Amino acid sequence: MHRFFVSQLDVVDDVQALICSEDLIHQFTKVLRFEKGEQVILLNNSGFQYEVELQDLGSKKILGKVLNKKFCETELPMKLVVAQAILKNMERLEWMFQKGTELGVSAFIPLLSDRTERKVLGKVERLHRILKEAAEQSGRGKVPELLEEKKFEKIFGESDEKIFVVPHPGATQKFSDFCKEKLAGENGEKFSGELVICIGPEGGFTDKEVYFAQSKGAHVVSLGNRILRAETVAMVMGTIVAETMGEM
């Protein structure tokens, strides 16, 4: 069954669905040529999914009956935030957003660091579409948030509930060991807070930035002896997190 995230113009409650957004109406009636009786899964970012039978497909609105509502089991049991320094190469960044979404990232923060060459993210609408499509395709219950650009130094808040990790080539602690220690938990009690991973740009973080992060309590970790491209890093770390949480 096809899965669709509805927009704020649309309403899905426990009983019925009312779709008013032009995009979805166009997709349902013109692209997919759905007819009365078609069953779809609608998602409204609540973490629930609604199995809906389409009943009335008009050019201005579509009405459907909710057959079943169920909680999506596809979200990670913790919050995983990827703060990625803006890359010069937009295509690589888009790839990172897509793969991160597939792996369960809850939010992305575009970071500005000493060596970021591009200072604005740009193409935000396109990026939102990439996140939404990747979330639909991978069966997620929520579309990851795309937050405002933030300076690297400003990301380290005072909150005790967040753990910050900065991958940096040459660090002594392995990320997999960090995960075993901090996320896996003893007696099967898994981490349920927020893990923020800060990844450098093509030119990496400066030593000064790494010391600063450390002074704010961030854990500096290694992903092995080879230098990975920035966009590979989110994927590798997301995989290790999911594996630690017992998902893979």
The span of 3-11, 13-21, 65-73, 227-235 binding ligand SAH (CB under 6 A) equals: 227-235
Interface with ligand SAH, residue 204, by CB under 6 A: yes
The span of 31-39, 183-191, 225-233, 239-247 binding ligand SAH (CB under 6 A) equals: 225-233
Q: With contacts defined by CB under 6 A, how many residues of the chain interact with ligand SAH?
A: 16
Q: Which residue of 5, 152, 156, 205 would you call a contact of ligand SAH, by CB under 6 A?
A: 205
How far CA 137 is from CA of 8, 24, 25, 36, in Å, comes to: 20, 16, 19, 24
Q: Which residue of 7, 29, 206, 222 would you call a contact of ligand SAH, by CB under 6 A?
A: 222
Structural tokens at position 99: 């793969």
> 240: burial class by Cβ within 10 Å (0-12, 13-18, 19+)?
buried
The span of 19-27, 71-79, 133-141, 196-204 binding ligand SAH (CB under 6 A) equals: 196-204
DSSP designation for 143: P
> 59: burial class by Cβ within 10 Å (0-12, 13-18, 19+)?
exposed
Name the minimum Å distance from CB 183 to ligand SAH. 17
Interface with ligand SAH, residue 203, by CB under 6 A: yes
Interface with ligand SAH, residue 218, by CB under 6 A: no
Across 34-192, the runs of DSSP E, i.e. the strands, are 39-43, 48-57, 62-71, 79-85, 107-112, 145-146, 150-151, 162-167, 173-174
Q: Which residue of 7, 20, 153, 169 would you call a contact of ligand SAH, by CB under 6 A?
A: 169
Interface with ligand SAH, residue 213, by CB under 6 A: no
Q: Which residue of 9, 120, 227, 248 would you call a contact of ligand SAH, by CB under 6 A?
A: 227
DSSP-assigned letters across all residues of 147-162: PPPEEGGGG--S-TTE
> Would you say 27 or 239 has its CB closer to ligand SAH?
239
The span of 30-38, 123-131, 183-191, 203-211 binding ligand SAH (CB under 6 A) equals: 203-211
Report the distance separating Cα 157 and Cα 111, nearest Å: 14
Cβ neighbours, 10 Å, residue 125: 8
Which residues are at the interface with ligand SAH (CB under 6 A)?
Answer: 167-169, 199-200, 203-205, 222-224, 226-228, 230, 233
